[in-house]
Amino acid sequence: MFELDLRSREPIYQQLVNKFKTLIINQVLATDEKLPSVRTLAQQLTINPNTIQKAYRELEVQGYIYSIKGKGSFVAPIIEQENQATLTTLKEELKKLLSEAIFLGLTKQEVIKMIDQIIVEVEGGEK
């Protein structure tokens, strides 16, 4: 399904959370799609099941997945209203960061190039 960087400073559970969020946001995983069981995914990735469970709990807290006792974990529907509030907050934060970057001397072309690189990385491409 995806690869983890075991040498990264980022915790494995956080890498899992980020990977699943990317898959859900990019609609690779559809609404109500069943996620692999904790045991199955732990065997596939050869990591501790508790790590998978921690990632699933975090995704559930953030609203990306939901669990049904005895059935498993599923992708939660994307709720537009919640997304709009989050997008508004992100736009405000991005505006502050871009203003600071420009103040520190980055040109418009450098900012655009950085954004393009980030998009490629998030979508799983090469740097």
Query: Which domain range does residue 36 map to?
Result: 12-75
Number of domains in the chain: 2
Q: What pTM did the predictor assign?
A: 0.65
d(C-alpha 31, C-alpha 119), whole Å: 23
- Which residue bears the tokens 């859900």? 24
User: Do residue 85 and residue 113 come from a single domain?
Assistant: yes
* Residues whose CB is less than 8 angstroms from the CB of residue 1 and which lie 6 or more positions away in sequence, other chains included: 36, 41, 44
Question: Do residue 17 and residue 31 come from a single domain?
Answer: yes
**Mean pLDDT across 80-93:** 77
Residues 56 and 92 in one domain: no
Q: Work out the mean pLDDT of the chain and round it to a whole number.
A: 88
Structure tokens at 9: 């400073």
In terms of Cβ atoms closer than 10 Å to its own Cβ (0-12, 13-18, 19+), residue 56 is: buried
In the predicted model, is pLDDT for residue 107 greater than 50?
A: yes
Rounded CA-CA distance 35/29 in Å is 9
| Max CA pair span of the chain | 55
Are 101 and 118 within one domain?
yes
CA angle 80, 85, 87 (to 5 degrees): 85
Q: What is the mean pLDDT of residues 8-34?
A: 91
pLDDT in tens, 28-84: 899 999 999 999 999 999 999 999 999 999 999 988 999 999 999 999 987 765 667
For residue 107, the 8-state DSSP code is -
